[in-house]
Each structure stands twice: as structure tokens, then as C-alpha cells.
């Protein structure tokens, strides 16, 4: 695991054995797979120093070299910073933060009038701690879905995580409660998802839609409904909701897709998030406790799903 130390807007790394012989260019392009445009920008802005001098990006590093990278840029006030919410933080360090998203809150603003989103609350949270950085969401959850959601604290970690998400290297495990009992207790739903031309926000299984794959496993059955664990290969809008409804078992509370209105929201919770840390390569596993009041999910241990 790579050890880093934050010093103001800079990150210090003492070159480890596995970096020795590699250039700064190779670190950014091959180790971290940072996009070419961002790598070029960092290079032109002289944001990397080695042993106190501007880095030669093509010179191999030696074991023990002191590398300084200016990763923590000053905050750009893209959103207002006046929305406080008592967030439940599941994991945090200098580079990333994972938050347990509450229900009835959008992940990000859809227009200028929306100033009470999770992004606003998370930005306020880090700013109140004295971290003058601009955070970035890596993925999103529907407004009424709860659970673990990942944010990056600087452009490099954000770019690395975006690439990991695109390559399906960030594993997200959800828990849903669906209507009825699914005949096949474990399987994979492979159906393309597209917009429903008859409804502004609804999606549907469509031959002209985007490829989508959802794994599922029934973990508990009760009278009239089932608890289902789901994990995704793709991240289409409303994917789990659409796929399970297509299977004939819509989520309870999800009236948009035919679910019974037993709850005030669809019974969907992002229970577990697993990813390789974008900078240190450490494996991070976060479990998100249920936070509904009154509770929706009962008798489930999220640490064993």
C-alpha cells in the first residue's frame, strides 16, 4: 500500500520500491491511468516536484526520492455552501469520502434552484472541516434510494475513479424488497434499458436501449415479498428497478414501476461499496447501515450480505 502525507495543498510520497525505476509520466499514465489531458495539464502547471526540484517527467525515480504533488486545488465555488445536513460518513481520507445517503435527497442539483442535494451537504461538510477543496461525485443514487455513495476530493482521484467505474472495478451491492417470490432464486438479468417515450422520467426494457446486466440473489422470503441482493455490471438509470419489474417483481414502494405503495419510497438500499483506493491501491470496503425511520429493511445483517 502506498503511503501518502498531505502538506497543505500538496501530497508527499516517499518513492517506494515498486515505483523505483519508473518515471513520473509512467506513474500517471500506467500506474494510475490518469487521462492524457489532465496529465498534460499537471505537467504544464509544474505541479510535481522531486527532492525539492521541478520534476523531470521522463527521468526514472529512485527508491527514497521525495515526491510532492499539488493535488488539492483551491475550491471553486460552483455551488452554494449554506446547506448543512448531519451526514453519516462511512469512510474518509485526503482523497475520497464515502457517505451514507439519506432518502428523499437528490445526489446532485438538476437545476440552479436545487440547493439542498447531497453534493451541497458534502461540500459544506468538508469546507467546515477546513478542507478548501472541490469534491466530485463518482456515481449517483436515485433521490429515494439510500446507501453508500462515493465522492472524490480532487481531480486526480476523481479521474482515476471515473475510469474504474467505467471498467466496472467499483463493486456496488444493493438490497431490494420486491413483490412476490422469485421462482429462480439466483440469476442474471441481461436486458437493454432505454427511455420510455410515453413518460418523461421512466425507463423500460427496450431492444434499442443501452446494454444492462444485473445479478441478483434472493436472501430472505416473507409472506408476499422477498429480500433480494443485487450487484451491477452496468450503471443505467433505474437499472435495478426496471430489471426486477421486468422480471415481474417490482420493488415495494416503487409505484413508477408497478410496486405496491407499502413504503413512501422504493425499497432499495446501496448496502455495500467496494473499491481499490485510487491513490494508495488499498482495498476499501464500506457497509451502509439502514437509516429509514420507521425502518424498511428488517432482520438483515448488512455485514453478511
The set of catalytic residues is 142
- What span, in angstroms and rounded, lies between the C-alpha atoms of 48 and 176? 46
Beta-sheet pairing, 225-232 with 136-137: unpaired
Contact criterion met (CB below 8 Å) for 248 and 258: no
Three-state secondary structure readout of 210-239: ECCEEEEEEEEEECCEEEEEEEECCCCCCH
- What span, in angstroms and rounded, lies between the C-alpha atoms of 281 and 233? 21
Give 302's contacts (C-beta < 8 A, 6+ positions apart): 175, 271, 272, 287, 288, 289, 290
Backbone angles phi, psi at 225, to 5 degrees: -155, 170
Amino acid at each position: 500500500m502506498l503511503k501518502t502525507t498531505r502538506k497543505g495543498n500538496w501530497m508527499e510520497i516517499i518513492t517506494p520500491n515498486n515505483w523505483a525505476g519508473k518515471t513520473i509520466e509512467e506513474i500517471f499514465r500506467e500506474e494510475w491511468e490518469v487521462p492524457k489531458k489532465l496529465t498534460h495539464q499537471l505537467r504544464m502547471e509544474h505541479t510535481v516536484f522531486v527532492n525539492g526540484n521541478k520534476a523531470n517527467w521522463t527521468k526514472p525515480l529512485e527508491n527514497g526520492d521525495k515526491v510532492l504533488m499539488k493535488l488539492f486545488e483551491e475550491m471553486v465555488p460552483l455551488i452554494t455552501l449554506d446547506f448543512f445536513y448531519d451526514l453519516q460518513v462511512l469512510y474518509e481520507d485526503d482523497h475520497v469520502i464515502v457517505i451514507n445517503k439519506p432518502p428523499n435527497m437528490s445526489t446532485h442539483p438538476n437545476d440552479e434552484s436545487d440547493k439542498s442535494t447531497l453534493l451541497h451537504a458534502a461540500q459544506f461538510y468538508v469546507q467546515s472541516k477546513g478542507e478548501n477543496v472541490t469534491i466530485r461525485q463518482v456515481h449517483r443514487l436515485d433521490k429515494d434510494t439510500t446507501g453508500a455513495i462515493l465522492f472524490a476530493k480532487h481531480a486526480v482521484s476523481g479521474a482515476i475513479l471515473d475510469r474504474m467505474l467505467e471498467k466496472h472495478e467499483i463493486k456496488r451491492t444493493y438490497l431490494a424488497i420486491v413483490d412476490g417470490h422469485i421462482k429462480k432464486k439466483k440469476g442474471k438479468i441481461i436486458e437493454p434499458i432505454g427511455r420510455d417515450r410515453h413518460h418523461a422520467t421512466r425507463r423500460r426494457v427496450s431492444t434499442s436501449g443501452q446494454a444492462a446486466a444485473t445479478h441478483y440473489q434472493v436472501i430472505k422470503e416473507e409472506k408476499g415479498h422477498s429480500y433480494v441482493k443485487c450487484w451491477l455490471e452496468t450503471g443505467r438509470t433505474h437499472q435495478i428497478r426496471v430489471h426486477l419489474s421486468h422480471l415481474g417483481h417490482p420493488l415495494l414502494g416503487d409505484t413508477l414501476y408497478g410496486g405496491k405503495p407499502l413504503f413512501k419510497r422504493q425499497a432499495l438500499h446501496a448496502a455495500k461499496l467496494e473499491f481499490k483506493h485510487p491513490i494508495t491501491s488499498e482495498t476499501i470496503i464500506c457497509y451502509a447501515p439502514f437509516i429509514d425511520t420507521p425502518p424498511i429493511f428488517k432482520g438483515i445483517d448488512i455485514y453478511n450480505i
